[in-house]
Structure formats: C-alpha cells, structure tokens
Structure 1
Amino acid sequence: MLKMICLTAAFGLALGSTATAADLTFDGRTARAEPAADGGFVLHTPQGEVHVAAAPMRSQTGSMMFDSLFALAQQELDADRVDAIRDPAFNQGRPVPCNCFQTGERWPYVWTRDVSFAADLALARLDPVRTRQSLQFKLSTARGGHTPGLFVAQDTGSGGSWPISSDRVVWFLAARALLDDPAFAGQTWQALQATLAQDRAAVFDPRIGLYRGETSFLDWREQTYPDWTAKDVRFIGDSFALSTNVLHYQALRLAERLARERGDARVADYAGWADALAVQIDARFWREDAGLYMSYIGEAAHPVPYAKYDLLAISLGVLADVFPADRARRALANYPAVEGGSPVVWPQQAQQPIYHNRAVWPFVSAYSLRAARRLDDAARIQLEIQSLMRGTALAGSNMENYEMRRLAVHVDEGALSGPVVNSPRQLWSVAGYLSMVLEGVFGVEADGSVAPKLPTALVPQLFGKRSSIELDDGKTRYVLKLPRKLDGQLLVAGRTTRRGNTVTVQLVAAPAPGSAEPRSVASASAAAYAPATPTAPNPVKRGRAWSIPFPANHVLWLDGRAVTSASPLTLSDDGHQHCLSLTRRDGPLESLHSPTTCVGLQQRLAGARQWSWTAAAPTRVRIRLRYANPNGPINTGVTAAVKQLVAQCPGQPAQRATVVMPHSVGPRDSTAAEFELPKGRCRFTLEQGFNMSALTHFAQYNGGKGGRDGVLNQAQVSALLIAPIAPAAGDAR
C-alpha cells in the first residue's frame, strides 16, 4: 500500500495566508481576485483576465478568491442557459429549439449523463424549470409506436450505444428532486416503468445478479478498460460496472417509492430487485486486498476481478448506502490522492493520453466531497474543496477536466498530451462548484436544512480575521459562526437559530470518527501506473488435457478464479467450456486482464436465423453469434444490433435471452446468452429486438446510420456458437 500524506498543513500555504486571501498559488502559478466597481470581481489568472459580474447568490467570507469563484460559477451557469442547442450530428448542425442547459462552451447540446449529474449536484435546486425541460429533451417514445412506452435515451456511444452503454438510468437520479411538478412526475413514472423493464430484459444477468454495461461517464474504452477493447467492445457489453449498477439500484428505489405512492402492485418487485442488487454490489465489487470497490468485473463467462478503481462509482455507492459502513469508510479513505486532488481512475495507464486517465474531473470531485461529508471524512472534504478552488481559479473557468498533478488544462507530452478534450464552463463542473459552496462549505441542503461539516484546517483561509462567514441565496441568509476554541478535525452545527430570513449556525468542534488521510500517489513514480496488460494465455492441447504455461510474475485466472498451482497448469477436458486470462503483478499493483481465451467443446452451427442442436443429456449451454456489424464506428452511433435469441426445446416453454452485436471491425462474437436445455433436440431462432435507433429522439440524427434514414437494427450473422458449460457456484439465484 502507498504511504499516507498529510494535507492539512499544506492547504493554508497553497491557498495563501489570511493576509493574501485574494491570492491562490499552486504549482508555481498564481491567480488573484480583486473587487470591481460594479459589485463583481476581476479575476487575474494565468489564462488571462476574467470579469465576473455581481451574482444573485453571494458569499461573504475571509477569502475574496472564494467569493469571486462562487460568483464566477453563477455567471457560467447563466451562460449555459440557452434557447436552442446544436450538434453537428443532429439536425444537420442547425439549432434545435430548447430552453435548456447546454453541456459546455464546446459542447452546445444536451447529453443524458451530463445534464443528469449536473441536475443532481445543483441545477434541480437552482433552476428547476429549465432543468426539467433539459431532462424532458432526453425522453422519447419509439418511432412508429410499435414499442409502447416512454424511454430515456442513451446517447451515442461505444459500439453503437445501448445496451453496450446502459447508464441512461442516471436520468432518474436527477428526476428525484423535481417530482413536485405533477406533469413531470407522471412522465418520470412512465419512463421509469418502461426503461427499467427494458433494462431488466436486456442487460440484467440473473445468474450474476448485476446489470451489464459500460462504466458510467468513463466511456472512452482504452482509457479505463484493457487496450484490446479499443477494437472490440463486446467484452464491455458483457461485463459489469459498479457505477452503472449503483445507478440502477437508485432507479429501482425510486420505482419502489413511486409504485407505493400510486398503489401499484409492482412495489414488491422493485423493492425485492433493489434489495438483491445491493447484496450483489457489495459481494461482487469489493476487493479486500485493496480495501476498495472495483470499477468493473469480468463477464458471466469469466467473472474475474479487475484492479481498476474509479472515484465516481465509489462516491455514488457511498451516497446510495449500498456499502456497509465500515467498507464505505475504508474505500473512500483508501482511494489515492495526488497533488491536484483525486484522480477519477486509479491506477493510471502509462500508454494512454490524459483524459479520464491521469485526470481530475471537478464534477467527480464534487461527488467525492458529498460522499466525504456523508462519512465525516475531514481529510477528503478538505482535499476536494482545495482541488475545486485551485482548478477553477488557475483556469479562470470551471473546466471539463484537468491533468491530475498540476491541474493544468493541457500538458504537452507528445502522443500522451492532454487532457485531449476540454471545455470551459462545462455544465457538470459548474454544478459541482456550486454544490461545493452550498453544501460542502455552508452545509445547505436542497431542502433548506443546514448541516455544515467544515474541516478546521480551512478556517484560516475561509474566515481570516472574521468570526463568521455568510451565504445569501436570495431567499435566506445563512451565517456560520466560529467557536471560541478549535478542536478536532471538523466543525459541525451546534445551536441553530432562525430569525426572519436569517439562519445562524453556531459551529462546534466535533471529532471525525474513522477519518483517515488520503493515500498519496507519487506523481513521478511508476507505482502510480498499472503494469502493462499481458497477452492472452496460450493453452497447448495434449491428449485429453491442456497445458497452460504462465510467467512467474503473472496470475492465471480460470473461470473467474485465480489459479494457485505453479506453471504450467494442466486442465483436463471434461466436456465443458473453460475460460482463461492472465494478469501481471508488479509489487502491490496488478495489470488489467489479458484477452480471454476459452478452451473445450464448442460447436459452430452455420446459418443466419435458425439453428438446431441436440443435447445428449440435460445441460447448461453458452451461446454466441458470429457476426459482423459495419453500421458504424467502434466509438459512437446508435446501431448496436440487439436481438432476442429464442430456445424452443421439447417439454419446455420457450426461453428468451438478449444478444448484442455491437459495431465491429470484421467478424466478431456477440455477447453471450445462457440456457438450461433438456435432453433432446432444441431449435434456436432470432427475433427482432430494440436499439436506440428506434427512438423518435434519434430521428434527427445525421452522425451515422439509424437516424434520419430510419431505424436500423441489423448485423450480418454467419453462425451460432454453442458450448456446454458447468453449473457455476455462487449464482445469485
């Protein structure tokens, strides 16, 4: 494990003494705030001079820099309010009328996850009308009405979008705070029923007990997944991501609540599904040796742990209360920190440019701050406030992301330069900053309750010589008063009084039980980087067994479990398919997995729509389709081919399972379906499924196929691949 660092003493030095509270210096760069004659501020940054107008919400603290950056966030939020949005891939780049929030200066459209996370952080409380309108833009019926229901749109993405990416349910995280409007509440209930039913059928794996699909927000494959997924995203669609499962859990809890309010009989289903999902999230993603929850794990065919961790997933899990309290506290405390703050993923990938890799994203820092407040983790609260202030002040804007060590908007490292993409006034960054001020410093929740949890280490900067600091949100004036003596790590609410529109909170010192300093990731050390991903294992068939050699510093994984025997492993042919992969060890760090290699009986049945197979005895089988889907590039589009594979066997009702054939480069294998087959001859057929091109929302899409030219849900199927498999231990059923 990496050594801990103490950030408390360094914080005051980094932000400046009370005498120079208008200054902020970090990494040899300085920003300064000055008052302007119009009641606003002038912000002098390394990027240039920024004029900040007087804002409707005002803070009065001992730091002019803090007060000016709060005003800047409001100014940038106002700039993101638009009456039309545009994107080259929609409506031929022409404006689309929408009184919405656009995603950022360089992203003038509305994207599902961006607006949803931004709404959940701050927008729902600050501008509920425009936030509802932005969310409503992402709701859609199906074209032609052949699939009834109202659905949340999964934006263009990996392999042709949903269900390779399946985090569209983040929409409901945002909707929760906006249900006081009856019409919107009705739409939310409609969309919740239809979207959850569709996801339950298409991406839920009843054996594993989790929802499949890509990590939420971390959607540039090789930045966080093994590099071999760059040209083949099938694995991503078959794997299970922590963040996406936590979002499904939250959506199920909302469905339970709304069903109960409406007297709907499905309340028991939603509650039971949520309860079971919480159990599997904790059981499947926890990694005891790291003291962290993993970002994702392998597919049902090979459910291996991955030594990849992401801050958003852990923060969302803490906030959803799906982690046991002790593990939640350990996970957040164990998540590494660098000079600039908390990187969004860990460990880093040495051969990838800066974007999600080696980067701080302010909206994720804001979720980490929210989670740290939930756990009374003073060190992490301090770290995230520090990071958000530094990044915004030095850039002169709430940027999309920063290089993690320097909080720079761009670092020149040749092919590894980055952040590769960056935008000023990115909506979720703006929302994250506003959340930091309202909740993170003043403790003002969306319902008006006040529960500050302010690290004592921040007092010199935020209070200076003042005995109190104030926030005026236009309706209520909140005053935080210092105690006479500063003890412990946190200041929390003591006596709270309300007189007229003024709420005064007398802060008192309180311990922060279980709080720990974040671990340090040495920025110049190879310890911050995962070892290189190894090549796939190379089994050699010898009679009725395989010999599988592997290097001494590698771990061989068989059917989801680490092999403890020495190299080579001898694996007998038992008539079942078995899957293998390798990881490389370098001290405490482990690489991502190699490509998976499967051995054992697998039959190839030629054909495009119908196949027959005879089982000599009752058996469980895993089936994939051999296909090509040339309907779009690997990284975007809406035409992942989604089909229903139907198994019809003697003496049994028909069994159905979803198979997905994402955009491909040449022939590939589809996602897997598993069936319990009786003895005898079974027939397999393909039925039409549903993909994002079916939504009316994408009728104006011109960035690829399946948009303006009509619904497209096709792939070139050449064979069915069927393999007997052993019953798996530890099924979720």
Structure 2
Amino acid sequence: MLSVMMMAALAAAAGAGSGTDSIAWHGQQAQVTASADGGFSLSGPFGKRDIPVQRMRTDTASPMFDGLFAMAQDDLKQDSVSEIRDDAFDHGQPVHCACFQTGAKWPYVWTRDLSYSIDLGLWRLDPQRARDSLRFKLSDVRDPKLPQGLYVMQDTGSGGSWPISTDRVVWFLGAQHLLDDKAFADDVYRALNDTLAQDRLYAFDPDFGLYRGETSFLDWREQTYPAWTADNVVFIAQSFALSTNVLHYQALQLASRLAIEHGDSATSKGYAEQAAALKAAINARFWRTDRGMYMSYIGGNAAPYDTYDLLGTALAITSGVAEGGRAREALANYPTWPAGSPVIWPERPDQPIYHNRAIWPFVSAYALRAARMVNDPARIAHELRSIMRGAALSGSNMENYELITQSTHVDDGKLSGPVVDSPRQLWSVAAYLDVVSEGVFGLEADGRVEPKLPVLLVPMLFGKRDSISLQMPDRSITLRLPRDVSGNLLVAGKTVQRGSETLVTLKALDVPATTLRKDAPLYAPKPPEAPSVAADDKGWRVQVDGKVVLYADGQRMGNIDGETYIAQGGKPPCVSATRKGPHGLESLHSPIVCAGEPTDIGTDWPRSWTAPAGGRYRVALRYENNHGPVNTGVTAAVKMLVMSCNDDTLQRVPIVMPHSVGEQLSSYGIVTLKGSAQCSFDLQQGFNMSDLGHFAHYTNGKGGADGPLNDARIGDLLIAPTARTP
C-alpha cells in the first residue's frame, strides 16, 4: 500500500478537479452521489440528473468517475435509435435505421462522427448497431453509364463535398473492428477497393505522393483555413491535410491485410507499397523541424502553413506514421491550457468559438491514446481530467467546450460560442467510454489488457483501496496496486486470467517525464495583404505589405521588407506572404498571386496547342458552379482533363470545380511537355457524390432527388509554365 506521505504528495500534485465525488472549476462545482440501487445523481450548474443503473460499471474510490461512466452509457442509450432524420434528406421525414444518431441536436448518421465513435469503442458495445450504422453510409452508383462500385459517402460539405473533402476513408477506421461478420466483411473489402481506387484517381497527387483535400472533421473553412477561402474553396481542394492523409495510410494498410486474407498477394503488395510511400511522404512534407510538430495542412504547392491540429497529430502517432522520438516530440510540443488541449493551434482572433478556441472531447480521447503510445503520464492525466470535468459540469457528454473556461457558452460579442453545441454528442460519449475502458483499464482493441495509468491519478481512483475494477457484460478487469509506487507510470506487471476475469497487478515505472506545454501564445498573427508581382528588366519584381516572409511556388524565400526580386528560372512564379509575430509564429498565408498571363488555348473541345518549350505546365479552367452554396451540397463538378500529344504522350489530370461565387479558376493539374509538342486537350466526365444512389434522398439542393448533377459553366482553358518541382 502507498504510504500516507506518498498519498498526500500525490493528491497535492493532482491539483484541482481531482476530488472523488466533486469537481470544482472556475467558481462552479459538480457533485455526484451514489444511490443504494447502483445508480447515481449528478448535480451542477446544469441542474440535476439522475442516472439509472447501467449494464457496465466501474468500482473505484471515485463516485464521480464511476457516475460519469454510467452517464456516458445512459447518453449512449439515448443515441441508440430506431429512426433518424435530417432536414436535408427526405424532406425531414424519419428514416428507419437501427443506428447510432449523432447527438441530441444531430439526429442523423454522419460518416466521420459515426466512424470515429465506433473506433473509440462503440464497436465492442453494440456491434450490430455499429454495422447497421456503417452500412447506412455505403452506396452504389445510380447512373448506369458510370463505372459501378460500392463507395463510402462523403457527406454534404465544402464546395459541394468530395473531392474538396476527402476524409470519408475514416469509415474504415471504424469498420475494421467488425469483420467477424462475413457479409459485412465482404462489403468492407469491396468498398475499400472501390473507394481507394476512386480517391487514387481523383485526389492523389503523384508529385508529392499525398492525397488532396480538407482536414478531417475541421470542416468549417473560415475557422481553420485562410479567410480568403470563405468564398473560394479551390485552395482547400488543391491542398493536403495531415489527418486526411493519415486516414488514407490506415485504409491502405487495412486493404493490404484484407487482400492477403482474400488470397491476393499481388494486390496486397501493391497496397503495402502505396502505404509505405504515403508514410514517407507525410513525414517528409508535414514535419516542421523548427516547431517539432506536424503541420495541420500544406498548400497545393507544398507551401508550409504554421498551423497545427490535435486530431491529425494524435492520428499520426496512433497509426504509426510518427515513430519513436518524433512521436513523443510532436505530442509534447502541442500546447495545452489548464482546461484541456485545443483542437487547433494557434487560434484565430477573428473567428467565433467552435473549432477555434475549443476543446472537443473525442479529440482529447485520441490525444490520450497517443499519450499512451509514447508513455506520457502527464498528458494521459491531463486529457482524462479534461474529459471528466466537461461532462460533470455540463451534465452530459457535450460536443465541445470553450478553451479557457471549458464552458458550453462564453459571451464574447460576435465571437461568442461555441456557436453550435449538443448534449450526448456521439463521439463525445464514445470518448468517455474509451478513456475508461482503454485509458484507465488498458483494454486494447485486440482484447489485451495493457494499462498505462499515471501515478498522479492514483489518489482519485484508488483512494485507500488496493484495487479498482471494470465490470462488462462478457468480462471484468481488476487492477491492483503494487506494494511500492516509486515511479510516475503504472503498467501491467503480473497478469492472471480466471475465466472471464483479468487480474492485473500493476508495477511502477519511472518513464522520462514530459512537461505539458503551457507557454504557447494563444493567437496567430494577422496575415498580410497579397503581394503583387510583375516582370521588369531585372526579373520578377515582388512588392509586399511591409515586413513579411515571402513564399514562391511553395518555397520559402525568406524575410523581406517592401520589395524584392526573384528568379525562378525565368518562369512566372506564384507568390504568397505570411506575417511573423513576436513569438516567432507565422500567420496563415495571404492570397496566392501568380505572375504572367497564362495562355488561353481556345473554347472548342478538343482544344489544340503547341508547347513553346519543354517543361512543366499548370492547366486550369475558368468556370462557374452555381449549383449550391460554398459551405454544403454534393455537386462539386469533377472532370478529367486528358492531354494527348504527337510524341505519344498521354496525361490525365483531374479538375475540380467547387461551388463558386461567380467565375473563378478551377483546381489545376500539372503536365510535362517536350518542346514543340503538338497536343490536344479533351474534357471527360468525372464523378461526384451526386452520382451515388444514397443521395437520391437528398432534398435540400441540386444533385439529389432531382437526379445526379456533375456540371459547371466552363470557360477558357488556361496553361502556364511553372517552376513547381515534385
């Protein structure tokens, strides 16, 4: 047993919010009492909530910890429904589905919310409902003229959905746990092959070896991307996100494993090679040595952006993309505040609270998983306390909280928020259940019990006891304290299996201590205005807004003040600028400005053109897509531009034309030409989400119940030389 002196020291180190039956924070307090029948009563700023007896229970020294575990199960019961509805589908009428709904304010099934929730343990608690929910997000193709297949749906979103947003592959993160059902496993393998092939065709950039598209879950553009993307999301369609690429890496790994199980070693090898190459590209492109962190996203020309997100960082670690010292460094350098860890950093001073200035419990749960992988007891304890505190003071597992106060609403004028919040948000519910089963009791996905319990949490969880337990319908886990607790992390020592009961005697380790980063500035600097660039007899003359950091074709040119000249091999550069703040942080980039006038090669298809010189060229279209608003819909126009030259060169590049505000330029493709090559360009039909059968139920915009729509008003085809290199 721990000595009285040791217990007192640990209790002092644990700090505020570690009480066994109450949590106090910012002048507010939540209190829990256990009832004789095994239920709980929770009271706090929200009022009072009675929590009935649940089928799973924890037996610890903390009624608060045990009661919140029961509350999460009660929340999950309310999210387990027989029908769902959303105003954008079937005119808001109920749809039969024995599914997990997203939350009290979101009574529907959304791909990413569901998939992260299932990966956070719901697959174990209700596997049939998890499968049924996942099946709801699969679809075949409704146009018989298009290539057929079974695909995961990208929900309505930025610029008309996929391929501006491409994180639908998160579906496989949840589905991988449920392959013991053969019929479902067959659907998973088919959807995996079809979805990966489609993403490879339309979203993969062979120059950089990365998949294009928006950050996963961070899908409110103005909150995380430069302000100038609010009305033009082509930059997002062209850019690369850490989280979305890590999800593709995990999907490729799963595909390789399942191909072996299907007796196809050649296909397995191909997927494994793609996964290995993607892992190398992620580490090469997203890692910032000067920050010791992975960037949240980079530009379509691989320009670095001094912005970071916790989910992408955690997924990089838990997936194995980040390894060894780099994994530990990335998590240690990600900032924290007393209330928890922000989902993005640095924050945006001109944006309301939602993803900005916010804690999201499901992201905190993934950060806790990452902390377990790198043996970081301080971070494990920090994330667990944050998740507990938010749930206790709110009386439910809320969608998100303001970063400083951990409140569900902070009055800050036009920046007030969180702008949207919901009780019993599914992935927040799953987060609490996961930090109990895995975070404290060490229950891994493969059934192994590998606790990694910070000694800091011993006073709260054990009190004067020598053991705590988790009781589940099919098994129980008991953790016993060692006689000597002289380190900072408790891990499995002797493990004994007695029928369905796992008894683990913990042992203490003294792992290298990591101090939570608490010195980070809250806000990023304000971006500068866009540079101007023009040619004169000295070269390309760039003028900027004061002292800035200049970038040309993705490369950092350095600090300048006022103006400079750049060479770029004589080829017209595309430039942007950032502002450096007092703490060394750079702002997001200004709008990108490209020098020179691209060649307009006509309006009739196929269009013909002779290359004036060998090299690499950017090709794009002027277009207008008014089929929906910039923030939602399923009718991003997706085409395949095919270039055929007289030297037998045939190149195909996808062109994406998101919903627009008036005329703008599409995403661009890169082609390589020989001098004097005579080439013709043809524009072939591509694929978008409106082509999926599921979206016949979409009644809130075009491309839904009125039929597929993959079109835009297309103007000039523009081509210009570029200095961009792979």
Q: How does the TM-score come out when normalised to structure 2?
A: 0.96
Once the two structures are TM-superposed, the CA of residue 288 in structure 1 deviates from its matched residue by 0.8
Once the two structures are TM-superposed, the CA of residue 38 in structure 1 deviates from its matched residue by 3.6
Task: Work out the CA distance in 2 between the residues paired with 1:573 and 1:335.
Answer: 35
Task: Work out the CA distance in 2 between the residues paired with 1:216 and 1:491.
Answer: 33
The Cα RMSD (Å) is 1.6
Give per-residue Cα distances to partners, 1:632-677, cap 9 Å, x unaligned: 0000000000001011110214321110000000111100111112
Q: Alignment identity in percent?
A: 55
Q: Which residue of 1 aligns with 2:455?
A: 456
Native 8 Å contact 2:538 2:565 kept in 1: no
Native 8 Å contact 2:18 2:385 kept in 1: no
Q: Which residue of 1 aligns with 2:514?
A: 516
Greater shift, 673-682 or 238-247, is seen at 673-682
Q: Which residue of 1 aligns with 2:609?
A: 613
Q: Which residue of 1 aligns with 2:194?
A: 194
The answer as to 2:571 corresponding to 1:582 is no
Q: Which residue of 1 aligns with 2:110?
A: 111
Greater shift, 670-679 or 97-106, is seen at 670-679
Q: Which residue of 1 aligns with 2:5?
A: none
Task: Work out the CA distance in 2 between the residues paired with 1:26 and 1:317.
Answer: 32
Q: How many residues align?
A: 713
Native 8 Å contact 1:608 1:717 kept in 2: no
The answer as to 2:299 corresponding to 1:298 is yes
The answer as to 2:215 corresponding to 1:218 is no
Task: Work out the CA distance in 2 between the residues paired with 1:9 and 1:726.
Answer: 60
Native 8 Å contact 2:76 2:424 kept in 1: yes
The answer as to 2:26 corresponding to 1:39 is no
Alignment of 1:563-712 (within 5 A): 563-564=557-558, 566-567=560-561, 568-572=563-567, 575-587=570-582, 588-607=584-603, 609-678=605-674, 679-712=676-709
For the residue of structure 2 that corresponds to 1:528, the secondary structure is coil
Native 8 Å contact 1:73 1:398 kept in 2: yes
Task: Work out the CA distance in 2 between the residues paired with 1:584 and 1:216.
Answer: 26
Alignment of 1:173-572 (within 5 A): 173-264=173-264, 265-300=266-301, 303-513=302-512, 515-521=513-519, 527-543=521-537, 545-550=539-544, 553-564=547-558, 566-567=560-561, 568-572=563-567
Once the two structures are TM-superposed, the CA of residue 572 in structure 1 deviates from its matched residue by 4.4
Q: Which residue of 2 aligns with 1:12?
A: 14
For the residue of structure 1 that corresponds to 2:168, the secondary structure is coil
The one-letter code sitting in structure 2 at the alignment partner of 1:663 is: H
Task: Work out the CA distance in 2 between the residues paired with 1:115 and 1:495.
Answer: 36
For the residue of structure 2 that corresponds to 1:465, the secondary structure is coil
Task: Work out the CA distance in 1 between the residues paired with 2:228 and 2:329.
Answer: 32
Once the two structures are TM-superposed, the CA of residue 11 in structure 1 deviates from its matched residue by 6.3
Task: Work out the CA distance in 1 between the residues paired with 2:13 and 2:344.
Answer: 23
Once the two structures are TM-superposed, the CA of residue 681 in structure 1 deviates from its matched residue by 2.0
Once the two structures are TM-superposed, the CA of residue 309 in structure 1 deviates from its matched residue by 0.3
Once the two structures are TM-superposed, the CA of residue 691 in structure 1 deviates from its matched residue by 0.2
Native 8 Å contact 1:135 1:171 kept in 2: yes
C-alpha distance 546-453 of structure 1, shift in aligned 2 (>3 A) = same
Task: Work out the CA distance in 2 between the residues paired with 1:589 and 1:119.
Answer: 36
Native 8 Å contact 1:369 1:440 kept in 2: yes
The one-letter code sitting in structure 1 at the alignment partner of 2:573 is: H
Native 8 Å contact 2:10 2:459 kept in 1: no
Task: Work out the CA distance in 2 between the residues paired with 1:411 and 1:564.
Answer: 39
C-alpha distance 55-535 of structure 1, shift in aligned 2 (>3 A) = same
Once the two structures are TM-superposed, the CA of residue 478 in structure 1 deviates from its matched residue by 1.2
Task: Work out the CA distance in 2 between the residues paired with 1:11 and 1:27.
Answer: 19
Q: Which residue of 1 aligns with 2:3?
A: none
The one-letter code sitting in structure 1 at the alignment partner of 2:489 is: L
For the residue of structure 2 that corresponds to 1:647, the secondary structure is strand
Once the two structures are TM-superposed, the CA of residue 267 in structure 1 deviates from its matched residue by 1.5
Once the two structures are TM-superposed, the CA of residue 10 in structure 1 deviates from its matched residue by 6.8
Give per-residue Cα distances to partners, 1:185-225, cap 9 Å, x unaligned: 10011101110000000000000110000000000001011
Native 8 Å contact 2:549 2:559 kept in 1: no
Once the two structures are TM-superposed, the CA of residue 724 in structure 1 deviates from its matched residue by 1.3
Greater shift, 255-264 or 100-109, is seen at 255-264
Once the two structures are TM-superposed, the CA of residue 571 in structure 1 deviates from its matched residue by 2.8
Native 8 Å contact 1:606 1:718 kept in 2: no
The one-letter code sitting in structure 1 at the alignment partner of 2:433 is: L
Give per-residue Cα distances to partners, 1:514-569, cap 9 Å, x unaligned: x41121156xxxx2100001111122432362321335641011121211375422
Task: Work out the CA distance in 2 between the residues paired with 1:207 and 1:704.
Answer: 35
Native 8 Å contact 2:551 2:558 kept in 1: no
The one-letter code sitting in structure 2 at the alignment partner of 1:418 is: G
Native 8 Å contact 2:60 2:469 kept in 1: yes
Native 8 Å contact 2:553 2:723 kept in 1: no
